[in-house]
Chain A
């Protein structure tokens, strides 16, 4: 295996859910994140924190799947924010305009504080 396959953990709280990933956010990695989000949406969750502090590498296919998730969150009138991004991933999200629909926080604690 060239790179650690993406693994994730999901934690559902009262007002939000946190998904923490580890590994490459490529096509299969993005699909895993989407599946986790959609399962949480089915349980009524509308607000998401994606913690990418252990995911240092991403590609545009993975990001396109994140855009699908954002679309679904907007349909639910929910919110999605990212934390733990590398400077380059944060810069890329800003360049693409993802920050029109999401927020970026340095840490999970900051993201939780904003949602609470």
Chain B
């Protein structure tokens, strides 16, 4: 059995927190434990921030879909912005960041570390991130 929840948020700062509230409700309904729910929330914050900060979407919206597939929660985060090449994103290293004027660039690493899987499909028409977490 598969259930879905969809929502669309405007690209305003802190709107990512609204998404985490829905995520928590969905994950609680699937009986994921508290730590897994917190990990989903942080990964989701980063995915939404990535869209809000970097997509340059003219629509200025982020579309999120939660799919409950058995014991697996799949979250799809989509924007219709300019896209990016994930292979060109350098893996951040704290030894370099601590001395660098730019301390940012951790979003993808956090997402990949906290979720069971993260797949990024990005092109000039936008970006789609699919993240999964199992119970």
Bound together? yes
- Chain A positions near chain B (C-beta within 8 angstroms): 2-3, 24, 26-27, 56-61, 63-65, 67-68, 70-71, 74, 86-89, 91-92, 95-98, 100-101
- Chain B positions near chain A (C-beta within 8 angstroms): 13-18, 20, 35, 38-39, 41-42, 45-46, 49, 92-95, 97-99, 103-104, 106-107, 109-110, 113-114
What is the interface of chain A mostly: helix, strand, loop, or mixed? helix
Q: Are B114 and A3 closer than 8 Å at their CB atoms? A: no
CA distance A92 to B46 in the complex (A): 12
Q: Which residue of B lies closest to A71 (CB)?
A: B98
Q: Which residue of A lies closest to B16 (CB)?
A: A59
> Which of A60, A95, A98: most chain B CB closer than 10 A?
A60
Q: List 16 additional A-B contacts (Cβ < 8 Å) besides A96-B110, A101-B98.
A: A2-B15, A2-B17, A26-B13, A57-B17, A57-B42, A57-B45, A60-B46, A60-B107, A60-B110, A67-B98, A68-B103, A70-B98, A74-B98, A86-B38, A92-B113, A101-B94
